[in-house]
A and B are shown apart, each in its own frame.
Chain A
Amino acid sequence: GAGVSQSPSNKVTEKGKDVELRCDPISGHTALYWYRQSLGQGLEFLIYFQGNSAPDKSGLPSDRFSAERTGGSVSTLTIQRTQQEDSAVYLCASVPSASGRVYEQYFGPGTRLTVT
């Protein structure tokens, strides 16, 4: 079946512009994570959605970052007034059950964001 998809796969934007990154989780998966990986850095947790609960936003690095998950499915990560340090690969992962078992975390291919 279809896996987690993300779009665009690559995005180049000018400093100061807003960008939206999209994640389509596997249908029926209840939890969704956003991560980012900057060059040479480990994976950084950004935000976590679980069902209808309030999202865990503890990983968002600044108030320029926000994310929504509409209808418990598609998620959009928005970065306003992009900065060069926002350049990274942004990964989305979905999980099929409320247990959040890590081995069931399905990752999308990522969006490579480059801010010039």
Chain B
Amino acid sequence: DIVMTQSPDSLAVSLGERATINCKSSQSVLFTSNNNDCLAWYQQKPGQPPKLLIYWASTRESGVPDRFSGSGSGTDFTLTISSLQAEDVAVYYCQQYYTPPLTFGPGTKVEIK
């Protein structure tokens, strides 16, 4: 099974500042057929279901603000919120969908400093 890890567990960022979350997979999730990484990012606000933010490691889902961006390849990935807004307070999860079981990372909680 592919194990997903995230760092940090939590972070507090001032409004308007950058937030960076890291995700690492225990093996490559590169889909060679299209040369894309099978890595997604989700946002979960309290009391709500998760919401897809990013897929193929760096493709923003429709309607997601452009302050959210994904980067990385192979086994190391990053979610960046370029200018944190109050509504971005949430837990963020990465997930690999390269091979079942389609494992999630443990989550990173983002708060306002």
Q: Do A and B bind each other?
A: no
**Which A residues have a C-beta under 8 Å from some C-beta of B?**
none
